[in-house]
A and B are shown apart, each in its own frame.
Chain A
Amino acid sequence: MLTYGLVIAAYIILRILLAGGHVSSALQGQLVPITAYIVMAVSLNLTVGVLGELSLGHAGFMSVGAFTGVITSASLTSSVPEPALRLLFALIAGGIAAGLFGFLIGIPVLRLHGDYLAIVTLAFGEIIKNVVNTLYVGIGQSGLKIGMTSGNALNLGEGGKVILNGPMGAIGVQKISSFTAGFILILVTLFIILNLIDSRAGRAIMAVRDNKIAAESVGISVWRYRMTAFVTSAALAGAAGALYALNYSTVIARKFDFNTSILVLVFVVLGGMGNIRGSIIAATVLTILPEVLRAFNNVRMLIYAVILILVMLATNNVRLRAWFQRIRPGNGKTPVISGGGDGHE
């Protein structure tokens, strides 16, 4: 409840500030990306914190969602003129496509554990990036066409339009994402993930994280619940990707590379594994921080790194943690789930 309240309050405050013209244009441009990154962080937390497996390819699912969203939006331009509705379709399509990829990639990946799983997700993230780089998608009179050589080879005919132009990425994307849409997507993500955690399936996922052998011994199908978490996580990343992509007029596959995966992982680790609220705060702060530090110009990323290290040190300080424990409200149910330390045996 506190988590929902936090998000809604932040939204209302920003709305008021925006109406009063108190938000700089640089920050205004960051609003949609921030919401997309929050959804990315929260969804990755399902894999990393709740399932207890390190995924280094989360940006790959974002990429699948992003380009599916762009293609969906472009092909619906005439049939669904209302941008908000088109965005909704694009988000759903991006989510479904990424969920499907999550399932397919999950089949080999979820046979592995720990470090090996992390490395293979990294590889799949890179594979997705490179495959998208070679894809040409266009829309013409005979509908959607896909090729791998060049935009002209698609033979779109009169009035045809290339949506995805290989390494050039998607060009001429209609910017239909909005801060409000991002805000709603965050709420939907929170609703799905918090409810999932606090249900029969969520308990099963955490049981698998804590002790795989014990989970099997009480009749829980390990494969099934690992897949449930992985696919849910991928689908939400896909929706975030669609939201992100439809905020820019040009989107390239290289945007969703290993660095983006690591960036989102940093949000999760910094916010606390399994701590959903922490992910939201970390994603927000760390997306704004480079903008705020722009004044420092050359040493900007250095200061960013130093701040990261300091926060890591501070949050791992025993005394400081004890202090946080003390100021935390009573025995109220918090969505804080400690990370699965001794999960994989």
Chain B
Amino acid sequence: MSDKTRMVPLPSKAIVPERDALERPILEVSRLGINFGGLVAVEDFNIAVGRTEICGLIGPNGAGKTTIFNLLTKVYQPTSGAILLDGQDTASMNTVQVNQAGIARTFQNIRLFPSLSVEDNVKIGLHNQVRYPLITGVFRLPGFFRAERQAKDQAMELLSIFDMTDLASKKAGSLPYGAQRRLEFLRALATNPKLLLLDEPAAGMNPSETEELMASIKKIRDRFQIAIMLIEHDMRLVMGICEGIAVINYGKIIAKGTASEIQDNPEVIEAYLGKKKE
């Protein structure tokens, strides 16, 4: 299905889906890199992501995929390179400011607020969307009940995307694994991002759940008109919904392109399967 998308080159030689080519990419990363001590974890990472693109980041274990997510969200400060979000340089921002500027993420090892309810988890995602001063909350001033109602309505609407409204009062930590992943996805979506980073969204899901997840990711992209970048090892998911794919190995991009271009690339095959014996 993704083969219907045509990737077109931008003046910067980066490629984005044809429909996004007229607008500035939501994310432009150039020469991004980080060293931990002497270890070069990511080096010379360049990518552009279209405004409504679903793109994939794949590569063997330890290639540096999650490190790239951590760089984009400023969990780590890059040692080199620039990240432009919607044309805005994020160099001086911290994790909180990057989220407010429009990048939300999920985590490879799920990080929910386990002792709080499902509803509260989503409401915490809405923290900067439905705002009121501390004093209004403590003294129940006018505006408190209206804002809380609004937060509840929005939380329920988000939960309905994955049919989770009846789980609203359950403790997040008590949910089954798949539901926890979906809740984390919704919590990230609640922050009203322009770019959503999903770290292994299908991990631990069975084939039919993965199928559903693929449909949901596309549905969410269409409905919210956002870009989604995902790390995933499930190739059916990656090849099925990612329009542009970047393959990483040893912290460097070894191939970029559409699903079919990637599949035939000898370097990619080598990275995953090893060198052919002569």
Contact = CB atoms under 8 A, between A and B. Distances in A.
B41 interface: no
A195 B138 CA distance: 5
B96 A210 contact: no
A195 B140 contact: yes
Interface string B182-194: 0000011011000
Nearest to A232: B138
B124 A203 contact: yes
B139 A210 contact: no
B112 A211 contact: yes
Nearest to A199: B137
A228 interface: yes
B137 A200 contact: yes
Interface string B223-241: 0000000000000000000
Contact of A196 (B113, B125, B138): B138
Interface residues of B, number: 39
Nearest to A217: B105
Interface residues of A, number: 31
Nearest to B190: A218
B277 to A, nearest CB: 44
Interface string B120-133: 10011101101110
B116 A217 contact: no
A204 B188 CA distance: 15
A342 B114 contact: yes
A94 interface: no
Contacts of A192: 138
B107 interface: yes
B39 interface: no
Contact of B137 (A196, A211, A342): A196
Most chain B CB within a 10 A radius of its CB, from A206, A217, A228, A340: A217
Interface string B91-124: 0001110011000110100011111100010011
Contacts of B107: 213-214, 217
Interface in A113-142: none
B216 interface: no
A252 to B, nearest CB: 34
A228 B134 contact: yes
Interface of B: 73, 75, 94-96, 99-100, 104-105, 107, 111-116, 120, 123-125, 127-128, 130-132, 134, 137-140, 144, 147-148, 151, 169, 187-188, 190-191
Closest 10 CB pairs of A and B: A199-B137, A210-B113, A219-B99, A214-B111, A216-B95, A207-B124, A219-B128, A338-B115, A211-B111, A219-B100
Given A211-B112, A214-B111, 15 more contacts: A192-B138, A195-B139, A196-B134, A200-B147, A201-B137, A203-B120, A210-B114, A210-B115, A216-B94, A217-B99, A217-B104, A218-B104, A218-B187, A219-B96, A222-B96
